[in-house]
Amino acid sequence: MKQGRGFRHHLAAAFTGFVDLRSVLALLPPCVLFLTFLTLSSSSSDSPLAGILRPSSSDGLPAAGITNGSRIAICLVGGSRRFELTGPSLVRHLLGEYREADVFLHSPLDGDAYKLSLLKEVAPRISAARIFSPWALPVTAAHKLVLTATGSPNGIQGLLQYFNLVEGCLRMIKKHESRRNFTYGWIIRTRLDGYWSATLGPEAFRRGVYVVPAGSRYGGLNDRLGVGDRATSEVALSRLSLLPRLDRAGLRLLNSESAFRAQLARSRVAWREVRAPFCVVSDRRYRFPPVANGVPVAAMGSPGPLSGAKCRPCQPACAGSCAAKVAKGLDPRWSWTEWRNDSLRLCDASHGWAEGWERVFDRVAGAEAAAKRRKMARLDVATCAEDFKVMREKAARWESPPAKEICRLGLLRRPANSTTKFA
Ligand SMILES: *[C@@H]1O[C@H](CO)[C@@H](O)[C@H](O)[C@H]1NC(C)=O
Ligand SMILES: *[C@@H]1O[C@H](CO)[C@@H](O)[C@H](O)[C@H]1NC(C)=O
Ligand SMILES: *[C@@H]1O[C@H](CO)[C@@H](O)[C@H](O)[C@H]1NC(C)=O
């Protein structure tokens, strides 16, 4: 079995719409593709860095949930593969904690996009949503030098797609800012496949410092969540447009995490790792027990915080001194994650999700989340389409294929009791 190499996780999780790519390409004339690319690439300036090379001096911590009165944008990116499990936790612990924050959604259209109907309850807070059919991004000679395809199932193209999801969210935020003539003070960027077990602490908000989760570094910086003020976020989210700068600096063979660290370092943005109470829900299988560069998969319900480690609902196969022993064998520069104080309990992820995972999830996530999970499992096309219609009406801006298309794509071909659709 292939073991984990950084970014392929992102891709698998953040971009499940690859199957759609070819059909979309087939439909569009090449000039349209090219023009679209030009528009995108020229709208994101090559130099979003001017004036922000300010080292962190003011270590001002805004009080929890306040951030000193400045406005917060929450950027939700990636595929919605297990959103029936992660969505309610995001709504409760992140959107619920920062009630004044505006929500930006950037997600590829695929067979799971219908699950975004869960966001109906926060629709009035959605400043912009974009659910799009992905197209191939041009891979330049510089991309081929700077990035490595090693470990990425969709190669360099897959990395670029992931970067585009992230940077696309920044573009949406900037458009909103210029339309409304204001700027956000803070941007929280996170993934749709993150399961949150608690709220972020105030230590995540540090002026002049980009805050990322601890552990799961994969040779660079954990990029599964990021919190920063407006200036540091601009650098951190400019994942595509900063690649030429990394090339000019002679950097080579980077994965997502090492490219991320390099773009902050090159732009003189300081970072800080903090522990954050979320994990990335994954269907992928990994050798167990993980050693060296192997990927630990935490049990949802580990005391945590898991700081974005992979997780699934399972009966832990290894906890206490066993988890300690495994974690001590992991490379701290790679997949290592904090384990002390019993924070980490491990699943044997060498097979698909075990039968009965629903019960485990329901117990861990609580009655409200369990009810939402069951409701999603029963969702039909008509109700789904109605939910999307409501969201479209309430959101400030909404860009997606017709609701029926999104709902049919997922619900009409959904096998009964599907648990391993993308495993
Ligand atoms: C919060 O606002 C006060 C008063 O305007 C200011 O002195 C302080 O520096 C601000 N702190 C942060 C973190 O922005
Ligand atoms: C935008 O805001 C700035 C500063 O708050 C103000 O000076 C400017 O007139 C505003 N522009 C528009 C078009 O409202
Ligand atoms: C473990 O728990 C103790 C007591 O609550 C705390 O002081 C310590 O920082 C914790 N260590 C880790 C690594 O979480």
Q: Identify which has the larger pLDDT, 109 or 422.
A: 109
Mode of pairing for the β-strands spanning 102-108 and 72-77: parallel
DSSP run (H or E) holding 383: helix 381-394
Q: How far is ligand 2, taken at its centre, from the CA of residue 272, in Å?
A: 34
Please tell me the number of the ligand nearest to residue 177's CA: 2
DSSP run (H or E) holding 341: none
Residues 154 and 111 reside in one and the same domain: yes
Average pLDDT over residues 13-42: 37
Distance, in Å, from the CA atom of 76 to the CA atom of 146, rounded to the nearest integer, reads 26
Residue 407 belongs to some domain of the structure: no
274, 301, 331: which is the final residue of a domain? 274
Q: Encode pLDDT of 372-415 as tens digits.
A: 999 999 999 999 999 999 999 999 999 999 999 999 999 996 55
Residues 208 and 323 reside in one and the same domain: no
Closest ligand 3 atom, residue 338 Cα:
13
At 182, give phi and psi (nearest 5°).
Answer: -155, 170
Q: Give nearest CA residue, ligand 3 atom 5.
A: 341
Residue 324 belongs to some domain of the structure: yes
Distance, in Å, from the CA atom of 172 to the CA atom of 324, rounded to the nearest integer, reads 43
Residues 295 and 246 reside in one and the same domain: no
pLDDT confidence of residue 154: 86
- Bridge partners, residue 273, by sequence: 212
* Contact indicator for 163, 383 with CB cutoff of 8 Å: no
Q: Encode pLDDT of 261-285 as tens digits.
A: 999 999 999 999 999 999 999 999 9
Residues 149 and 257 reside in one and the same domain: yes
Q: How far is ligand 1, taken at its centre, from the CA of residue 278, in Å?
A: 29
Q: Give nearest CA residue, ligand 3 atom 3.
A: 341
Residues 140 and 288 reside in one and the same domain: no
Single out the residue of 301, 303, 370, 368 nearest to residue 342, CA to CA: 303
The verdict on the CB of residue 418 being under 6 Å from ligand 1 is no
Q: Indicate the SS3 state at residue 176.
A: helix
Please tell me the number of the ligand nearest to residue 215's CA: 3
Ligand 3 is surrounded, with C-beta below 6 A, by 338, 340-341
When the pLDDT of each residue in the chain is averaged and rounded to a whole number, the result is: 86
274, 299, 329: which is the final residue of a domain? 274
Burial (CB count within 10 angstroms: exposed 0-12, middle 13-18, buried 19+), residue 30 = exposed
Q: Give nearest CA residue, ligand 1 atom 6.
A: 68
Q: Encode pLDDT of 133-148 as tens digits.
A: 999 999 999 999 999 9
Residues 267 and 286 reside in one and the same domain: no
Distance, in Å, from the CA atom of 349 to the CA atom of 289, rounded to the nearest integer, reads 9
Q: Give nearest CA residue, ligand 1 atom 13.
A: 60
Q: Give nearest CA residue, ligand 3 atom 13.
A: 340
- Bridge partners, residue 108, by sequence: 132
Residues 214 and 267 reside in one and the same domain: yes
Residues 242 and 299 reside in one and the same domain: no
Sign for the pseudo-dihedral over CA of 151, 157, 160, 162:
negative
Q: Encode pLDDT of 289-313 as tens digits.
A: 999 999 999 999 999 999 999 999 9
CATH assignment of the domain containing 156: 3.90.550.10
Other CB atoms closer than 10 Å to residue 161's CB: what's the count? 23
Residues 146 and 237 reside in one and the same domain: yes
The verdict on the CB of residue 62 being under 6 Å from ligand 1 is yes
What is the total residue count of the chain?
423
Average pLDDT over residues 204-224: 97
Residue 393 belongs to some domain of the structure: no
Distance of alpha carbon 5 from the chain centroid = 17
pLDDT confidence of residue 420: 43
Residue 77 belongs to some domain of the structure: yes
The verdict on the CB of residue 60 being under 6 Å from ligand 1 is yes
Please tell me the number of the ligand nearest to residue 337's CA: 3
Residues 319 and 193 reside in one and the same domain: no
Residue 127 belongs to some domain of the structure: yes
Residues 256 and 286 reside in one and the same domain: no
Q: Which domain holds residue 245?
A: 67-274
Q: Compute the CA torsion angle 184, 78, 94, 206 (nearest 10 deg).
A: -50
| 20 — pLDDT class (breaks 50, 70, 90) | very low
Please tell me the number of the ligand nearest to residue 339's CA: 3
| 370 — pLDDT class (breaks 50, 70, 90) | very high
Residues 205 and 108 reside in one and the same domain: yes
Mode of pairing for the β-strands spanning 126-132 and 398-399: parallel
Other CB atoms closer than 10 Å to residue 202's CB: what's the count? 14
Q: Compute the CA torsion angle 151, 132, 260, 220 (nearest 10 deg).
A: -40
322, 355, 370: which is the final residue of a domain? 370
Q: How many domains does the chain have?
A: 2
| 152 — pLDDT class (breaks 50, 70, 90) | confident
Is 130's pLDDT higher than 50? Answer: yes
Is 22's pLDDT higher than 80? Answer: no
